Structure formats: C-alpha cells, structure tokens
Amino acid sequence: MSSVERKAIYPGTFDPVTNGHLDIIARAVRLFDEVCVAVTTNLAKQPLFSVDERVEMVNEATKNFKGVVVEPFQGLLMDYARERGATAVVRGLRAITDFEYEFQMALMNRKLADEIDTVFLMPNEKFTYLNSTIVKEVAKLQGDVSAFVSPSVLARLRRKFEVS
C-alpha cells in the first residue's frame, strides 16, 4: 500500500449540515484517508447560520468520524485543494437535476487543476430529496426535521426559529 495519504475536499455551505451531507462524508471517508469538509459562503445565498456556526455544527455532527477535518474556506476551490494537498474534490449527486451544474463545475475545475479529480457520490436513496433549504423552510414553520439532521443541528434550528 502506498504511503501517500489520499486527501479529498468536500466543499459546501452546509447551512445547516443535513443527514444527506453526513451520508456523503461517511462514504468519502471510506475512500480517502482524510476528508476536509470545507465550509464556505455562497454569495448567491443568504445563510441562516454564520460560517463559524456551520463549522461548529459539522464538527459536532462528525465528531465520531475518523479522518474528517472541518475548516472554513474562501476563494477558489482548486487553489484551496492544492494548498491542502488534496487529490480529489467530493460532490454529492442527489438527482439528475444536480448533474448538469456539477458536471460543468467539474469540467471547469479540471481546466483549473487537472491533477485534482472530482468524485461524485450518491447518498442513500432516503436522502435524495433532502437539501438544507427544505430543512430550513420546514423548521421555520415549526415542522419536525429530526429525521433530516443530527440532534445538535436540530437544537440549533429550534433556537433560531423559537416562537416568542
């Protein structure tokens, strides 16, 4: 076996981290020695949680995962991946609607850094409809999202949307 450590980056806003994200992380740690969950801010989105809160949530939710590092990140993903010594970027594909965007991003990333591969992982089918936006909308309306997020994320969502 090679002594070179296989590192991957799993970038996203994780606002909040869902069980679908955790499923992808669990799959990725089986393939790579280290998975860096890179928490970023998407300028097109208005996050509910700060970057620091999101990093804390991912850390809490992955505390029992071996080989996971969680960091905030800004800038160009391929520059960050090179700085971290990553050989791959992990992306989750839930449905065919994700594919076109992710395919375009993977091709652009290949142009920017052809030594870094994009690996697409599919979550368990029970998470294919799940995304952070839906979770936030249901939580805001006081719906039960306990099946979709970890207990620590659920507690944070409840605090954010407390009815006064």
Catalytic positions: 21, 45, 94, 132
DSSP 34-74: EEEEEE---TTS--SS-HHHHHHHHHHHTTT-TTEEEEE--
Q: Is 64 left (phi over 0), alpha (psi -120 to 50) or beta?
A: alpha
Residue 118: is it exposed, middle or buried by C-beta count within 10 angstroms (0-12/13-18/19+)? middle
Q: Please state the φ and ψ torsions of residue 118, each to the nearest 5 degrees.
A: -100, 130
Strands 88-92 and 117-121: parallel
